[in-house]
Structure formats: structure tokens, C-alpha cells
């Protein structure tokens, strides 16, 4: 995708059902996938209304209309549930602004896909855990997402990125990357390669359970980082799950695990000093408590028992993907310095290793809070 032109943006703004007259637009957020703007509209003399406008990334989401069909289905369902529960549907779920052609998106004269949402006022997204309570609140919010959507007909969802968390398939891609060794890097990362090859059982674990129909597919978010929760500025409670592009059928354990991989680590994702990296059991416990509370009894006992495995599988998968990309010449994940993907993979493997060392503790923590879900 090229840069967004001013006339292109003006065309798009004119073709959505916004209220008032736009007097300001600014780039918004730290996302790396879509181009995001916050628009401010004047309504009358003193009142203003703000919106989010996004150009969707068609190189990642090949079928943007299907992405929007998923989002419309899920947000409409959430809105109904929130109203039933006496909540505020204007703040507790995303509200899509239709285009003037009555679709949930607009295709501009350049063939680019755009969508718009009401801006959620008096709330903030955090890129890192500033206070442990924020991590807990994100857990409750993602658990609540599972609870509200537990009865949603998951078969109606499109798979927006096919095989996104098919760890078994990603393991095969990794082995092929080692074999082809297009950049001649394999000999210098033998220790990392051996780490992955020794854990094929981890790659296969959930795929084998799915094949036996032992775990259910649910509506999953698939990008459960802290910065995809809007936290109310006054109450500091998680009020809304955002960035629903990757909502599709998946496993609840993977959503839990991706949060732990990102939020319970003591180091940055590309931290070169592995002595600074481990899985913080206090943060793991905090998140586990919040997630199980938020789920409100909608997960099975087996799903809850498998939460530690979700953390391990997601961390392993992510590390394997970073190493695969490094072997293939850094073609997928953006890098800002040489060997950044290698550092990224090493932090994930250090976390996996640390989880294995603390496995009994992780299982005991989950067992401690399991009763919250079955009262």
C-alpha cells in the first residue's frame, strides 16, 4: 500500500455517514497493520463528535469484506448482550459507522478498503503494563469477551487469516526453512533450531486435541495484547475489546496464552539480554484470576486446565515464527536492526524454557482459581 493522499482521504470522509463537518484529522495509535486516523467533527456551535477512520491492509487481509462481515456479526451480537446486561453499548463494543452506500466499508477510487468507528471517549490503550491492575483488567475484559460470545454461532465466522494458529503446520514450514536455508544462516543458529525440533509435541498438542474433537472452537480474538483493550480513564476498568480484524474460530487457550506471552514477560520482545527475560508468576496469577472470572463459567473444565499449555504453545509458536522469518531473510516481520528477529525468537524460547521450569506452579495457580468458573 502506498501513502494515503489528501484527496483520497477527503473522498473517503465524504462517503461515510458521519455527523457534522470535519475540521480535523490526525494519525492515531501505534498500529503497524492499518492506517488509522482520528477525525473530529463540529456539530452545531459548540458540540463535537469524534470518529476513527482506517484504511485496511489488503496485503494481510486478502478478503476485507469478509473481515467486516465478521466484525459486523460479532459487534451486533455484543451490542445486544450488553444491552441485556444493562451496560453501555456505545462504549463497551465497537460501533461501526456505515458508508453512504449502506455497506460496512467503503472502497475508494484507488480500490482501497476503508471502515469507520465511533471514537470511544475518556478511555486509553496502553502498550505496556504500567500497573499490574491494568493487566488484570485486560484479563477480565478478554474473559468477558469469551463469556458474551460463548453462544455465538462460530461456524458463521470467516477465517480471516487461514491457519493463523495452526502450530503443527507452522512447524512444517519451519522445517522446510531449515532445509532450504536460503540465507545460509542455519549453521549459526543450531542451538535455536534444536530447541524447536526437540518440542514437536508442543507444536502438535492442540492440533491433536482438535482432531479428536476434545476441545471446542470458539469466537477468539487472536491478538489479545494489552493495547487491544480500552481502559476507562476514571475507573481504570477494561471496558471494550478493540482491533477485531483477526476475530475467527479458534481456541480459548490460545487467546489466554498470547496475553501471557506478551504481558507476563519481564523483558521486551526483542531484549538481547536474556537474563532480563522470564515469565513473571505474579503477573501470570493476576491474569489467570481475571480471565477465569471474566469467562464466568463459559469454559469447560478441560479448557481451563489447559490454560498453561496455551501460554506455552503460543510462546513457542511465536518464537518459531520469528526464527523461521530470520532463516528466510526477514521477509515477514518488520526489523529495525540486523538480527532483531533472532533476538525476538530467543526471548520467546527463554520464556518457554522458564515456563517449563515453573510448570507445576502454573498448573497450581490455574487450579487455585478454577472454582471461580464453576460456582
Residues 192 and 318 placed together within one structural domain of the fold: yes
- Per residue in 332-361, pLDDT tens? 888 899 999 999 999 999 999 999 999 999
Run of H or E including 258: helix 252-263
Residue 224: is its pLDDT beyond 90? yes
- Per residue in 84-125, pLDDT tens? 999 999 999 999 999 999 999 999 999 999 999 999 999 998
Residues 216 and 89 placed together within one structural domain of the fold: no
Q: Which of these three, 121, 146, 172, is where a domain ends?
A: 121
CA 301 to chain centre: 24
Q: Specify whether the CB–CB gap between 290 and 140 falls below 8 A.
A: yes
Residue 369 lies in a domain: yes
Residues 203 and 324 placed together within one structural domain of the fold: yes
Strands 229-232 and 123-124 come out as antiparallel
* Average of per-residue pLDDT across 59-80: 96
* Average of per-residue pLDDT across 143-161: 95
* Average of per-residue pLDDT across 211-238: 94
Task: Kindly give, in sequence order, each residue whose CB lies less than 8 Å from that of residue 203, ignoring residues fewer than 6 positions away.
Answer: 167, 168, 170, 171, 313, 316, 317, 320
* Average of per-residue pLDDT across 1-25: 92
- In the prediction, which pLDDT does 308 show? 98
Total count of domains within the chain: 2
Q: Dihedral sign, CA of 136, 137, 140, 145?
A: negative
Q: Which of these three, 121, 141, 159, is where a domain ends?
A: 121
- Per residue in 311-337, pLDDT tens? 999 999 999 999 999 999 998 888 899
Q: Which of these three, 96, 121, 146, is where a domain ends?
A: 121
* Average of per-residue pLDDT across 7-22: 95
- Check which CATH number belongs to the domain holding 36 and give it: 3.30.200.20
Run of H or E including 240: strand 238-241
Residues 109 and 144 placed together within one structural domain of the fold: no
- In the prediction, which pLDDT does 374 show? 47
- Between the two ends of the chain, the Cα-to-Cα distance in Å is 51
Least confident of 21-30, 235-244, 344-353: 21-30
Residue 1 lies in a domain: no
Residues 287 and 333 placed together within one structural domain of the fold: yes
Residues 248 and 321 placed together within one structural domain of the fold: yes
Q: Specify whether the CB–CB gap between 67 and 245 falls below 8 A.
A: yes
Distance CA 13, CA 145 (A): 31
Residue 141 lies in a domain: yes
**Helix, strand, or coil (residue 225):** coil
Residue 127 lies in a domain: no
Residue 254: is its pLDDT beyond 80? yes
Q: Residue 127's pLDDT band (boundaries 50, 70, 90)?
A: confident
Distance CA 168, CA 268 (A): 26
Residues 49 and 150 placed together within one structural domain of the fold: no
- In the prediction, which pLDDT does 373 show? 53
CA 277 to chain centre: 22
Q: Specify whether the CB–CB gap between 307 and 288 falls below 8 A.
A: yes
Domain that holds residue 228: 132-373
Residue 79 lies in a domain: yes
* Average of per-residue pLDDT across 203-209: 97
Residues 94 and 225 placed together within one structural domain of the fold: no
Residue 298 lies in a domain: yes
Q: Specify whether the CB–CB gap between 287 and 280 falls below 8 A.
A: no
Residue percentage of the chain with pLDDT more than 90: 85
Residues 147 and 60 placed together within one structural domain of the fold: no
Residue 253 lies in a domain: yes
Amino acid at each position: 500500500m502506498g501513502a494515503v493522499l489528501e484527496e483520497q482521504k477527503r473522498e473517503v470522509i465524504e462517503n461515510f455517514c458521519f455527523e457534522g463537518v470535519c475540521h480535523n484529522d490526525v494519525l492515531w495509535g501505534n498500529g503497524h497493520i492499518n492506517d488509522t486516523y482520528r477525525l473530529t467533527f463540529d456539530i452545531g456551535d459548540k458540540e463535537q463528535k469524534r470518529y476513527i477512520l482506517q484504511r485496511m491492509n489488503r496485503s494481510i487481509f486478502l478478503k476485507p469484506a469478509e473481515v467486516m462481515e465478521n466484525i459486523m456479526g460479532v459487534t451486533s451480537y455484543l451490542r445486544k448482550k450488553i444491552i441485556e446486561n444493562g451496560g453501555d453499548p456505545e462504549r463497551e463494543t465497537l460501533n461501526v459507522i456505515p458508508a453512504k452506500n449502506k455497506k460496512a466499508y467503503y472502497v475508494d477510487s484507488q480500490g482501497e478498503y476503508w471502515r469507520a468507528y465511533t471514537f470511544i471517549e475518556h478511555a486509553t490503550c496502553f502498550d505496556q503494563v504500567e500497573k499490574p491492575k491494568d493487566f488484570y483488567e485486560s484479563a477480565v475484559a478478554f474473559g468477558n469477551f469469551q463469556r458474551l460470545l460463548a453462544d455465538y454461532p462460530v461456524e458463521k465466522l470467516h477465517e480471516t487469516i487461514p491457519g493463523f494458529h495452526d502450530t503443527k503446520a507452522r512447524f512444517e514450514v519451519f522445517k522446510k526453512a531449515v532445509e532450504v536455508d536460503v540465507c545460509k544462516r542455519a549453521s549459526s543458529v543450531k542451538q535455536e533450531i534444536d530447541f524447536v525440533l526437540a518440542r514437536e509435541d508442543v507444536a502438535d498438542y492442540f492440533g491433536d486435541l482438535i482432531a479428536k474433537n476434545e476441545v471446542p472452537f470458539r469466537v477468539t480474538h487472536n491478538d489479545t495484547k494489552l493495547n487491544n483493550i480500552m481502559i476507562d480513564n476514571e475507573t481504570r476498568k477494561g471496558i471494550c475489546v478493540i482491533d477485531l480484524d483477526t476475530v475467527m474460530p479458534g481456541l480459548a487457550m490460545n487467546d489466554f496464552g498470547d496475553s501471557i506471552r506478551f504481558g507476563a514477560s519481564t523483558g521486551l520482545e526483542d531484549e538481547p539480554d536474556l537474563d532480563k527475560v522470564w515469565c513473571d508468576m505474579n503477573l501470570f496469577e493476576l491474569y489467570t484470576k481475571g480471565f477465569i472470572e471474566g469467562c464466568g463459567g463459559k469454559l469447560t473444565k478441560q479448557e481451563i486446565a489447559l490454560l498453561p499449555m496455551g501460554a506455552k504453545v503460543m510462546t513457542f509458536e511465536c518464537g518459531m515464527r520469528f526464527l523461521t522469518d530470520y532463516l528466510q531473510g526477514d521477509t515477514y516481520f518488520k526489523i529495525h536492526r540486523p538480527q532483531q528477529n533472532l533476538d525476538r525468537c530467543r526471548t520467546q524460547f527463554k520464556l518457554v524454557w522458564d515456563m517449563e521450569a515453573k510448570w507445576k506452579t502454573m498448573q497450581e495457580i490455574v487450579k487455585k482459581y478454577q472454582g471461580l468458573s464453576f460456582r
